[in-house]
């Protein structure tokens, strides 16, 4: 029931995202030669597109292994098949603002494994921080190649470090939140009640060993997708260094995500297109690369997520967690 409610509320964001994607693509294509775009797509071909999806799959696989590792650090056992399906289910709603819809995996993992929401949501928060830091580390390489943008890389890095320190020493945050008890909304106070457990779990994941391991995996995972983008641009005639294109891809994802638009739609595409053109690639080729990489990353992930949800909703691959039975880890605070 909870899963159905969450899905119904977030499906509209998926529909909005499709509309925004079509509009953005239409506007960008409207300023280019349609025949030239089709010719550029033909140069990549179906095999080339599947090659991009293979790189994306490797990215998702690495991030799943990290998620599984982090959940184990909290004492939870999500299982391999159940864990994979529940993790991928979040991709279906990755086009919600700030990817908040990905929290749906917390509902599925509770339903199938009995793992508390606070654990899964803490893991999600930690993953977001790790991914942002990893993407900034890779993306900053591009910013430093454009002299007037170097300050953005510095600001992003300082911001991520600030978040890490804030969560690592969260006692002050809890004192600030206590002031909000003057608000008498029941649902709001219930949310505040869960914050201490949420932060305690997140603090556990921000210890040096798991956090460092997670960031390293994140750097490798996002470098893989960045490398796919570099291969794509070179296939379309780009001549800039591979590292530059990898960095352009990562920084476009970070800055596009800061817009808090669904999936970074619009902002990410404009940045990818603009920075790729600034690197010396033609407008038609840059637009083709932008559209294809977003299809092979964002929308490929959404498709995998929807397939995972269909499988989970069908009751396949594993028994459901039954009320009254606790997994070894679900009773932990």
Rounded CA separation 4/11 (Å) = 10
Low-confidence winner among 106-115, 153-162, 263-272, 319-328 (lowest mean pLDDT): 319-328
Q: Rounded to whole angstroms, what are the CA distances from 302 to 30, 88, 237, 277, 331?
A: 26, 9, 29, 27, 32
For range 108-133, the mean pLDDT: 86
Tell me the average pLDDT of the chain.
78
Query: Do residues 215 and 110 lie in contact, with contact meaning Cβ atoms separated by under 8 Å?
Result: no
> What are the tokens at 237?
């005639």
Q: Whole-structure pTM over 0.75, yes or no?
A: yes
Low-confidence winner among 118-122, 255-259, 282-286 (lowest mean pLDDT): 255-259
pLDDT for the residue 185: 66
Is the pLDDT assigned to residue 92 strictly greater than 90? Answer: no
Closest-CA residue to 266 (of 80, 39, 25, 1): 25
Helix axes 34-73 and 186-205, enclosed angle (nearest 10): 80
Rounded CA separation 97/185 (Å) = 24
């Amino acid at each position: 029931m909870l899963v159905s409610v969450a899905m119904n509320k977030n499906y509209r964001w998926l529909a909005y995202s499709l509309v925004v994607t079509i509009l953005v693509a239409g506007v960008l294509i409207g300023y280019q030669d349609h025949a030239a775009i089709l010719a550029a797509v033909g140069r990549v071909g179906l095999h080339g597109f599947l090659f991009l999806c293979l790189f994306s799959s490797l990215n998702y696989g690495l991030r799943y292994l990290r998620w599984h590792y982090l959940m184990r650090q909290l004492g939870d056992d999500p299982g391999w098949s159940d864990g994979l399906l529940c993790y991928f289910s979040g991709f279906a709603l990755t086009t919600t603002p700030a990817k908040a819809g990905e929290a749906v995996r917390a509902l599925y993992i509770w339903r199938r494994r009995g793992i508390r929401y606070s654990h899964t949501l803490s893991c999600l928060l930690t993953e977001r921080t790790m991914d942002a830091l990893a993407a900034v580390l890779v993306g900053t390489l591009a910013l430093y190649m454009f002299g007037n943008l170097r300050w953005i890389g510095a600001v992003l890095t300082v911001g991520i470090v600030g978040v890490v320190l804030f969560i690592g020493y969260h006692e002050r945050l809890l004192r600030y939140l206590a002031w909000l008890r003057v608000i008498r909304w029941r649902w709001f106070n219930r949310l505040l009640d869960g914050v201490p457990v949420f932060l305690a779990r997140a603090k556990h994941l921000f210890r040096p060993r798991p956090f460092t391991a997670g960031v390293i995996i994140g750097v490798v995972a996002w470098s893989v997708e960045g490398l796919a983008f570099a291969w794509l641009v070179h296939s379309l005639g780009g001549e800039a260094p591979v590292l530059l294109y990898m960095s352009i891809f990562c920084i476009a994802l970070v800055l596009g995500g800061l817009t808090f638009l669904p999936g970074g739609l619009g902002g990410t595409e404009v940045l990818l297109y603009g920075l790729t053109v600034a690197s010396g690639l033609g407008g038609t080729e840059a637009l083709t690369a932008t559209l294809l990489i977003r299809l092979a990353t964002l929308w490929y992930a959404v498709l995998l997520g929807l397939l995972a949800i269909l499988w989970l909703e069908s009751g396949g691959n594993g028994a459901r967690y039954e009320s009254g039975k606790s997994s070894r880890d679900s009773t932990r605070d």
